[in-house]
Amino acid sequence: MSNKINDLTTSLTPGRSAPVVPARDVTTGSTQAQPQTAGTGEVHITDTASQLASLEQSLRDSPAVDSARVAQLQSAIEQGTYKVDPEKVATGLMQMEHALAQLPGGKGK
């Protein structure tokens, strides 16, 4: 099997690895030999991945239910002071429906 990328041609035999080809700098067109690295098994994590891991851990550590908010709502319901805003509920439902429709396999696409 033959591959041609950016005027570099290599021939591959099934089950065999590709030969080492110097890397070409796309801005200058010059080629430089790239150092070969042994499979050390090292993993480098980006700052974004580290931040996501930290956020994930903080979410795991936080309670699933806000007990103070539940107590506040329960008290308002018991006292008869809790008011439902139907427009706010409808808007929230429509936003959720729109977001779900955007997911793969969602309806509306």
Does residue 86 lie within any of the structural domains? yes
Could you tell me the pLDDT band of residue 104, with boundaries at 50, 70 and 90? confident
pLDDT tens, residue by residue, 75-92: 999 999 999 999 999 999
Does residue 97 lie within any of the structural domains? yes
Does residue 89 lie within any of the structural domains? yes
Does residue 38 lie within any of the structural domains? no
Write out the residue range of the structural domain in which residue 85 sits. Answer: 66-102
96 has a pLDDT exceeding 90: yes
Give Cα separations from 66 to 37, 61, 62, 71, 80 (angstroms): 51, 13, 9, 9, 21
pTM of the predicted structure, to 2 decimals: 0.36
Does residue 34 lie within any of the structural domains? no
How many domains does one find in the chain? 1
pLDDT tens, residue by residue, 1-28: 555 555 555 555 555 555 555 555 555 5
Please give the Cα distance from 44 to 63 (Å, whole number).
31
CB count in 10 Å sphere of residue 24: 15
